Amino acid sequence: MVEVGAKPETAREAVATGEVRMAPATARLIADRKVAKGDVLAVARLAGIQAVKRTADLVPLCHPLRVTGVDLELTCGRDRVRISARVRAFDRTGVEMEALTAVSVAALTVYDMCKAVDRGMRVVEVRLDEKRGGKSGTWTRATGRGRPRTR
């Protein structure tokens, strides 16, 4: 585990996104709240938020952080569910892993709740879109500016 004790605590923020692609009929069931297991978007949202809080338990060598906020949005399209997670903390290391874990677990929850009606679903394009704070500053996928430094 990387030593972070000497690093200053600063505001940190990360945004991750991903999608679950599916048959249009499955997306309609989700949008109409007619999936047998329940309200897919609500349950997946809660699962993603819970995953943020458990990231250090799930990802080896990931530091536990004091998360100050999580915004998790799931939107249903014609043949997909889009997932976006924004995670904030005031700590010594970034929240990228927490944002990525939120999206991943929310996507897996969508898959789990709908697999009885659509085995062909795909979890795709889980990625970090933005990060802010700390020594490496700001980076956004859209601009490619402020690329995080590599060791």
Q: Is 112 a catalytic residue?
A: yes
Sort 108 into a burial class: Cβ within 10 Å, 0-12 / 13-18 / 19+: middle
Choice among 32, 57, 112, 129 that is catalytic: 112
The sheet with strand 67-76 has its strands ordered as 67-76, 80-91, 10-21, 122-132, 139-140
Tell me whether strands 67-76 and 139-140 are parallel, antiparallel or unpaired: unpaired
> Across the strands, what pairs with 12?
89
Mutual angle of helices 24-31 and 96-114, in 10-degree steps: 100
Q: Whose CA is closest to 87, among 15, 3, 26, 9?
A: 15
What amino acid positions are annotated as catalytic residues?
Answer: 112
